[in-house]
């Protein structure tokens, strides 16, 4: 119970990035306004979670606070703030070959393993929240690796390898490459592959949606970003010489790609309510002080130059260097002498500065410039937290980007619904005139659609109506075995068989031991590096379910069950034309209309159901 005696809106609130500038303010407002029994704070490093929880527990003793730390974009186990475990920075983690290979497998191979091993999934399962507020700057977290630089490094490595093959024109010639060069190129290639942002964002979204659906999370609010603080392509605050900066544009692209994926998540049945607030200004600030300033620093490690983020700037004695025809930009920290303090330690850079949280430390000059009228300007974390709490309570702030997109998109129209009937009738006439059924090409989404359409077509041409399949009055319908053999006999003679197999859809015989196939098989998809696949009963079931026309009796039993559900959905009670019957759960016709049959399956049978909710 809250202090007012009313049950809280949410029993448990999970704050991703809860130790950050916005996350801390959301936690404070939630503890005051929502009064949940429990707030779980998740951060990348232990110290920020521990400090945040210590402050919150002191100010809000009526709320139970828990904290965990770790990288939500990788595999791992959430670590309680009560335990001290060394945590590497994201950059250092991805320099680990094992981490890179695990991430590659998660991105491009086995989703089920990725789901089972994901830090994020384990965290949400452990917290069991009714609501999640995501204050992590996902766009930065995913796109921080410079894919443009990584691509250039790999391109130059390829040229070096091609140079090793000069003079060897025969395809059978052996090219010898030093092991060190091979390993260096392999590392560069792995870095490039895992720095591609879109696959990582897609994986993150899939993991998040599935685990929230699994545990029954009711609301998800994302604190997003524009990537440019609300400025345009002419933003003068860039990440390099180019303007606009490709690196910065990548961050914006990922920020709005995530908005698109959240828009889809919000339109998916069975999931949580999804909202996003997207500040279009610099967020600030946390603190003003005389601070040790930090930033990316270059170090030599294991013979390679690596970048360590958020390290103190060391002051070095400058050296005079004449300008020639070339300028070497390789970091050369080893040959520069650090300035020493009174105790003989390397001096670090200390200046009066503004701590703006995730955006870093700004000097007075930088803060004056970036917040000036017509530049980024800024918004306070308290204002953002205020809107987040209102959205969690169900209030409409006008700042929910998902609702804004919802109201701006053009939805299906009455005119299109009228024209649909005309187009279908015209296709029926052409089919009758040419004597060729228009069933499926397999180009609209996965082969499962074409598989279902061809199976429904067999029912339509052999039985025509639900009553003839299921039986009417005291008359029993055909058995699954009879249907299976009848379809098999038809396809032995019907030219349609060649159409089905030529577009890449195999036909599985009733005995489950043979198929008819064409030159291409769409399921499983062709992979030139993995073209021979083990085939057992489980694999056959999996392939048949996804993209083979399945003539086995057990599959006919499945179809009979679906037809029985279709008939029951319409005639359960009252007239089939009652307005309450006109829902996606009802199949209104007695005859088998193949497209409508398959659409009914997608609406009612797929897990998860494949229908629009808005």
1 pLDDT above the threshold of 70: no
Q: What is the pLDDT of residue 439?
A: 95
Q: What is the mean pLDDT of the chain?
A: 90
Q: What is the pLDDT of residue 54?
A: 96
Distance CA 282, CA 280 (A): 7
| CATH architecture assignment, domain 12-146+199-285+379-408 | 3-Layer(aba) Sandwich (3.40)
Distance CA 53, CA 39 (A): 9
Spell out the domain ranges in the chain. 12-146+199-285+379-408, 147-194, 287-355, 440-604
Distance CA 562, CA 550 (A): 15
Residues 6+ apart with CB under 8 A from 359: 282, 283, 284
Average pLDDT, stretch 459-487?
92
3-state helix, strand, coil in the chain (%, to 5): 45, 15, 40
Give the pLDDT band of residue 203 (cuts 50, 70, 90).
Answer: very high
Q: What would the two tokens of residue 174 be?
A: 């052996």
For 317, 447, 448, 451, 453, the CA distances from 444, given in Å and listed in that order, are 65, 8, 10, 12, 12
Q: What is the pLDDT of residue 242?
A: 67
Percentage of residues of the chain with pLDDT beyond 70: 95
344 pLDDT above the threshold of 80: yes
**Do 500 and 522 contact (CB within 8 A), yes or no?**
no
4 pLDDT above the threshold of 70: no
Most confident range (mean pLDDT) of 140-154, 284-298, 537-551 is: 537-551
**Do 117 and 75 contact (CB within 8 A), yes or no?**
yes
76 pLDDT above the threshold of 70: yes
428 pLDDT above the threshold of 90: yes
Interval 29-60: pLDDT, tens: 999 999 999 999 999 999 999 999 999 999 99
Distance CA 87, CA 70 (A): 7
Distance CA 22, CA 222 (A): 11
577 pLDDT above the threshold of 80: no
512 pLDDT above the threshold of 80: yes
């Amino acid at each position: 119970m809250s202090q007012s005696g009313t049950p809280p809106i949410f029993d448990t609130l999970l704050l991703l990035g809860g130790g950050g500038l916005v996350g801390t303010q959301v936690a404070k407002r939630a503890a005051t306004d929502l009064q949940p029994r429990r707030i779980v704070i998740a951060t990348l490093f232990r110290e920020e979670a521990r400090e945040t929880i210590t402050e919150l527990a002191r100010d809000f003793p009526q709320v139970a606070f828990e904290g965990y730390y770790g990288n939500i974009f990788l595999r791992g186990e959430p670590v309680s703030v009560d335990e001290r475990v060394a945590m590497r920075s994201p950059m250092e983690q991805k320099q680990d070959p094992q981490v890179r290979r695990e991430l590659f497998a998660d991105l491009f191979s086995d989703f089920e393993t990725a789901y089972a091993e994901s830090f994020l999934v384990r965290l949400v399962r452990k917290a069991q929240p009714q609501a999640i507020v995501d204050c992590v700057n996902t766009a930065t977290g995913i796109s921080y690796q410079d894919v443009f630089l990584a691509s250039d490094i790999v391109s130059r490595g390829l040229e070096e390898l091609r140079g090793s093959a000069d003079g060897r024109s025969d395809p059978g010639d052996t090219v010898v490459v030093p092991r060190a060069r091979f390993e260096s190129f392999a590392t560069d290639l792995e870095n490039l592959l895992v720095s591609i942002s879109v696959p990582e964002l897609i994986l993150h979204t899939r993991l998040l949606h599935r685990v929230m659906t699994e545990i029954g999370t009711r609301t998800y609010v994302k604190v997003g970003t524009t990537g440019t603080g609300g400025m345009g392509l002419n933003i003068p605050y860039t990440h390099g010489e180019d303007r606009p900066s490709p690196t910065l544009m990548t961050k914006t692209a990922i920020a709005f790609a995530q908005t698109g994926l959240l828009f889809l998540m919000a339109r998916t049945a069975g999931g949580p309510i999804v909202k996003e607030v997207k500040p279009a200004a610099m967020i600030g600030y946390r603190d003003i002080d005389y601070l040790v300033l930090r930033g990316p620093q270059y170090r030599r490690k294991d013979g390679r130059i690596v970048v360590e983020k958020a390290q103190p700037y060391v002051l070095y004695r400058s050296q005079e260097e004449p300008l020639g025809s070339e300028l070497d930009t390789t970091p050369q920290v080893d040959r520069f002498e650090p300035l020493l303090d009174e105790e003989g330690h390397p001096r670090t850079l200390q200046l009066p500065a503004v701590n703006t949280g995730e955006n870093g430390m700004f000097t007075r000059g930088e803060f004056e410039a970036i917040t000036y009228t017509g530049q980024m300007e800024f918004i306070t974390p308290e204002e953002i937290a205020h809107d987040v709490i209102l959205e969690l309570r169900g209030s409409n702030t006008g700042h929910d980007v998902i609702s804004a997109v919802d109201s701006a998109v053009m939805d299906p129209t009455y005119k299109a619904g009228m024209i649909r009937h005309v187009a279908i009738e015209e296709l029926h006439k052409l089919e009758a005139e040419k004597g060729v059924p228009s069933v499926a090409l397999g180009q609209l989404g996965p082969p499962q659609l074409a598989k279902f359409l061809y199976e429904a077509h067999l029912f339509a041409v052999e039985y025509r109506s639900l009553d003839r399949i299921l039986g009417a009055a005291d008359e029993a319908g055909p058995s699954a075995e009879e249907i299976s053999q009848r379809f098999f006999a038809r396809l032995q003679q019907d030219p349609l068989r060649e159409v089905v197999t030529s577009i890449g859809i195999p036909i599985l015989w009733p005995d489950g031991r043979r198929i008819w196939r064409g030159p291409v098989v769409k399921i499983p998809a062709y992979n030139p590096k993995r073209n021979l696949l083990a085939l057992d009963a489980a694999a056959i079931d999996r392939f048949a379910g996804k993209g083979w026309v399945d003539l086995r009796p057990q599959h006919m039993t499945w179809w009979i069950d679906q037809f029985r559900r279709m008939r029951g959905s319409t005639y359960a009670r009252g007239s089939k034309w009652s307005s309450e019957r006109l829902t996606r759960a009802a199949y209104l016709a007695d005859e088998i209309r193949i497209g409508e049959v398959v659409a009914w399956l997608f609406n009612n049978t797929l897990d998860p159901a494949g229908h629009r909710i808005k």
